[in-house]
Amino acid sequence: MGFLRLKGRSLVKGEVEGEALVTSQPISFFGGVNPKTGFVVEKNHELYGEKVTGKILVFPYGKGSSVGSYVLYAMARYGTAPLAIINLKTDPIIAVGCALANIPLIDRLDKNPLETIKTGDKVKVFLDGWVEVEG
């Protein structure tokens, strides 16, 4: 158990706290996540069968079609979206989707979030780009 404070770039501002769900693999929201259920449905993804709803979702960057932006928006409307997203480096698909859906989004942390945040850690995301991790 430990406590860590990380500084990143806040792309979509918001303040939330929740449980981390971490993957080292990119995520495609179009075809990779079911927007009505929040479950990862991409068969070969390490999060296959996991639910992203209500989690602080940590992954390197998005992949796939620009329709993924609208899937994130749909997830917010259905109530199945992640609480926040933390990326190594955010791509335009994820940035637009989070902006449309008002999902807090942080990237470029001063330490690699894929190495410092573990699934199940308690994570707080702050408006100014600070992230607190309690493992």
Catalytic site positions: 65
- Report d(CA 95, CA 106) in Å as an integer: 10
Query: Which among 78, 104, 117, 91 has a CA at the least distance from the CA of 27?
Result: 91
SS3 27: strand
User: Is 104 in contact with 8 (CB distance < 8 Å)?
Assistant: no
Query: Which among 124, 67, 127 has a CA at the least distance from the CA of 97?
Result: 67
Residue 36 exposure: Cα atoms within 13 Å on the Cβ side: 0
